Amino acid sequence: MTEARPQITIATAEPYSVSRLNREARLLIERGLGSVAVEAEISGFKRAASGHLYFSLKDDLAQLRCAMFRMRSASLAFEPRDGMQVLARGRISIYEARGEYQLVVDSLEAGGEGLLRARFDQLRARLEAEGLFAQARKRALPEFPRQLGVITSPAGAALHDVLSVLRRRYPALNVLVFPAAVQGDAAPRELIDALELANRREECDLLLLTRGGGSLEDLWAFNDEALARAIAASRIPVVAAIGHEVDFTIADLVADVRGATPSAAAELLSPDGPALISRHRRDRARLQRALRQLTDGRRTTADHLSRRLANAGPRRTLQDGLQRTDDLELRIRRAWISEFTRRRQGLQGMTQRLARVDPRRQQLRSRERLHALRRRLKAVARGGLASRQTAAVQLVDRLGRRSPGSRLELAVRSVEQLHLRARRVFDAVHARRHERLAAAARALHAASPIALLGRGYTLTFAADGSALASSATLAPGDRITTRWTDGRVVSRVIGHLSDDHPDGDIK
């Protein structure tokens, strides 16, 4: 059915005013075209304070001014922006005030990459609100991974780039490929299946999700919400490297680490093998220097101890210890004899003093005094007889205690006690000196080279019987004797070997 077109009549009798001409042209266009749909790219987008939208739709050859009023724009499910491909529905009209030809838009739908970007932004905002992009949930990559799982297309260039980098940097890393489509409607499901398979097998300690560059539609499989949640749920750390450096996908944002390109991701997840080898060589050289210094220090200490043992042999040390013991014993004996002599001299002096006092004479004088007292007692009046008798008895007792025999008995007992105390002191001092001597003998024996023989060491002596502290004093043909704990071996020197080259030629 053909739509009737209005008849166009051009009046030439009187001129049109501008406003009249614009109005009639608007009516003519609106009646002639009606509703239209235009698919093109947005350019010059502006949102007025009133809520109205103003922009242009353009293609390679032309552009069309558009206006979308607030009553219509309020129901948009996305935010239009420059460069977005859209499908606009509305009616062609003329803005009379400026005589501008425009499309009054009733509805606007995102189309092509514009629609995809709108969906990307919506999903990104929702997952970010859930915390799937939070840095706190990102896991650190293992420093030295043992096996890498690569989820990609086996035929893609991304796998070739990854393997080339790994062969150069870290050839020891094993690579296990989990094949999956990386483009098309089936790609999200295959990528999820490969990711879940890698987690079930638990053979890898790191996963790489990757593909080469492409358009937004080509990379769209990696913006799948189910794939994003599978990456977040993976027990194995995931590195994502999708497309080129300017390409960002939801998978990149959810992964633990993002690589700008497949090659860059391989650099990130692998240690630098040549650098590790160089560091290992430096560390080994440093350890060898430290070991040589330690060995030299121990050798110097051993030489010093050998010289000390040679200068202070065990026999001399033992003889010195025995001599000190003899000196101590002699000093103790002298001290005991001196004390005993002093005590004996005191006893002899006391005996001599007692001998100078004649006991019979003392007894005679005592009797005479006793008779005198008795005579005096008889002369005492009867009233004081009892008290005088008591005093006399006490006096007689005191005289008895002061008799030479009692004093001699007390002196003998004192001498015996002094002798007993001197004997105890001598025994205690002698026991302590003997214990010190035994301890010194044990320490001397422990430090003796003879005792070292029991722990697997040997002693080597020159032909004259002197101990050898260094091999430098020997010459080829010298006769030496090596002593073990169970015997001796006589040898003859045929040459020297260096400690730094124990397997070298004999000098």
Co-location of 122 and 106 in the same domain: no
H or E segment and range at residue 341: helix 314-356
User: Which CATH number is 230's domain given?
Assistant: 3.40.50.2300
Tell me: do 96 and 131 sit in the same domain: no
Looking at the structure, tell me whether residues 462 and 441 fall in a common domain. Answer: no
Tokens 């239009």 found at? 80
In a domain, 44, yes or no: yes
Q: How far apart are CA 56 and CA 114, in angstroms?
A: 15
Q: What is the count of structural domains for the chain?
A: 4
At 302-346, the pLDDT tens digits run: 777 777 766 666 666 666 666 777 787 788 888 888 887 887 887
Sheet with 238-242, strands from edge to edge, namely 174-179, 147-152, 206-211, 238-242, 257-258
d(CA 329, CA 337): 12
Quick one: angle between helices 187-201 and 225-233, nearest 10? 10
Integer-rounded Cα radius of gyration of the chain? 61
- Token code pair at residue 327: 């000196």
Kindly give, in sequence order, each residue whose CB lies less than 8 Å from that of residue 4, ignoring residues fewer than 6 positions away.
none
Residue numbers in the chain where pLDDT is lower than 70: 1-13, 112-115, 273-276, 280, 309-322, 351, 353-363, 379-389, 391-393, 395-412, 415, 419, 445-453, 498-507
In Å, how far from its chain's centre is CA 203? Answer: 28
Question: Helix 359-379 vs helix 385-401: angle between axes, to the nearest 10 degrees?
Answer: 170
Specify the pLDDT at position 315: 61
262 with 152, same domain: the answer is yes
Q: What is the DSSP letter of 47?
A: E
Same domain, 348 and 426: yes
d(CA 128, CA 106): 33
CATH code for the domain in which residue 64 is found: 2.40.50.140
In a domain, 177, yes or no: yes
**Domain identity same for 461 and 424:** no
Residue 424 included in any domain: yes
Contact 423, 429 (CB under 8 A): no
129 within a domain of the structure (yes/no): yes
The two three-digit tokens of residue 57, written as one number: 């739709």
pLDDT of residue 4: 47
The answer on 403 and 338 residing in a single domain is: yes
Q: CB neighbours of 149 closer than 8 A, spacing ≥ 6?
A: 175, 176, 177, 178, 198, 203, 204, 206, 207, 208, 236
User: Can you tell me the distance from the alpha carbon of 92 to that of 89, in angstroms, rounded to the nearest whole number?
Assistant: 10
How many whole angstroms separate alpha carbon 235 and alpha carbon 148?
14
Say whether both 93 and 173 belong to one domain. Answer: no
Q: What is the DSSP letter of 248?
A: -
**Is residue 309 within 8 Å of residue 467, measured between CB atoms?**
yes
In this prediction, residue 248 carries a pLDDT of 87
Residues 125 and 264 in one domain: yes
CA 146 from centre of chain:
22
Distance, in Å, from the CA atom of 202 to the CA atom of 119, rounded to the nearest integer, reads 34
* In a domain? residue 86: yes
Last residue of a domain, one of 245, 271, 297: 271
For 460-483, what is each residue's pLDDT tens digit?
Answer: 888 887 777 777 778 888 888 988
Would 497 be classed as within a structural domain? Answer: no
Q: Domain boundary at 111, 145, 171, which?
A: 111
At 66, phi and psi to the nearest 5? -135, 150
Query: Is position 13 within any domain?
Result: no
DSSP 345-376: HHHHHHHHHHHHS-HHHHHHHHHHHHHHHHHH
What is residue 1's predicted lDDT score, i.e. its pLDDT? 39
Structural domain boundaries enclosing 408: 315-447
Q: Helices (DSSP H) in 357-480: which residue ranges?
A: 359-379, 385-401, 404-447, 449-453
Using DSSP's 3-state secondary structure scheme, residue 55 falls into strand
Same domain, 248 and 352: no
Whole-angstrom Cα distance, residue 433 to residue 452? 27
Q: Mark whether 477 and 411 lie in a shared domain.
A: no
Q: Quick one: 75 and 128 in the same domain? A: no
Residue where a domain terminates, one of 70, 92, 111: 111
Hey, what are 333's tokens? Answer: 């004996």
